[in-house]
Amino acid sequence: MSLVGKHVLITAGPTHEPIDPVRVIANRSSGRQGYAIAAAAEELGARVTLVSGPVSLETPPDVNRVDVETAEQMAEAVIAALPADVAILVAAVADWRVEASTTKLKKGDGPPKLKFVPTRDILAEISSHPQRPHLVVGFAAETDRVVENAIAKQVGKRADWIVANDVSGDVMGGTRNRVHLVTADGIEDWPEDSKEEVARHLMRRVAQEFE
């Protein structure tokens, strides 16, 4: 099983959306699952581009890492990395951003009035892009109705696969994961395992698509 000659594009980690020079909208993503997938793709011989939000992880060997901070920067980096054979969008991208203040907001001024606007939908953009990868895989981090929400996301975003997991526990900061793979052929319930083994299993499934 091999991905030699294939370009695999992966996003990982959180994004940080500035509120002011010292505060951001962020989330608990550690980036571990995305980085494990990047390493597993490289192990199968793929050329790997890893677009990473702010994390404190070492780059897997022989992986081309592009560091970004915001959802806008991540979207631009993903588009710039095309064409790719596979896109696996693991990053926990912030759904909202605000118009950032150029000066620090003061507590004494009371709660700030923040106007939230949606960030770019990277999965939907890639799924409809003229250079759409052969296989587009999204991740759905859910706290309830995990599989139902993943199926809805697959249809709504026009993704080929969705990897769904329950993040109501410590998954986003932990070392283990239990996922469901939603494809056009149905739903696969994978047993809980280390994030590294989940990554290897996923990349073996990806490699099967090209055999």
Q: For the residues of 48-83, what is the DSSP string, one character each?
A: EEEEE-S---PPPTT-EEEE--SHHHHHHHHHHH--
Task: Note the pTM of the prediction, 2 decimals.
Answer: 0.95
Query: Which residue's entry shows tokens 């109501």?
Result: 168
Whether 112 is in a domain gets the answer yes
CA distance 126 to 21: 31
Task: Provide the 3-class DSSP secondary structure of residue 140.
Answer: strand
Whether 168 is in a domain gets the answer yes
What range does the domain containing 198 cover?
7-209
Whether 1 is in a domain gets the answer no
Whether 193 is in a domain gets the answer yes
**Active-site residue identified among 27, 64, 165, 177:** 27
Per-residue pLDDT of the chain (211 residues; tens, 9 = 90+): 899 999 999 999 999 999 999 999 999 999 999 999 999 999 999 999 999 999 999 999 999 999 999 999 999 999 999 999 999 999 999 999 999 999 999 998 889 889 999 999 999 999 999 999 999 999 998 888 989 999 999 999 999 999 998 887 766 768 999 999 999 999 999 999 999 999 999 999 999 999 8
Q: Own/partner pairs for 128-132, CB < 8 Å, 24+ apart?
A: 128/158, 129/79, 129/82, 131/82, 131/83
Residue 27 falls in the annotated catalytic set = yes
pLDDT value at residue 171: 64
CATH assignment of the domain containing 151: 3.40.50.10300
Measured between alpha carbons, how far is residue 71 from residues 2, 25, 166, 206 in Å? 32, 11, 23, 26
Structural contact between residues 137 and 162, judged by C-beta atoms closer than 8 angstroms: yes
Whether 2 is in a domain gets the answer no
Please state whether 62 falls in left (phi above 0), alpha (psi between -120 and 50) or beta: left
Whether 99 is in a domain gets the answer yes
Whether 84 is in a domain gets the answer yes
Beta bridge partners of 67: 52
Distance of CA 6 to the CA centre of its chain: 19
CA distance 55 to 60: 13
Structural domains in the chain (count): 1
CA distance 137 to 143: 20
Residue 1 CB neighbours (<10 A): 12
Whether 76 is in a domain gets the answer yes
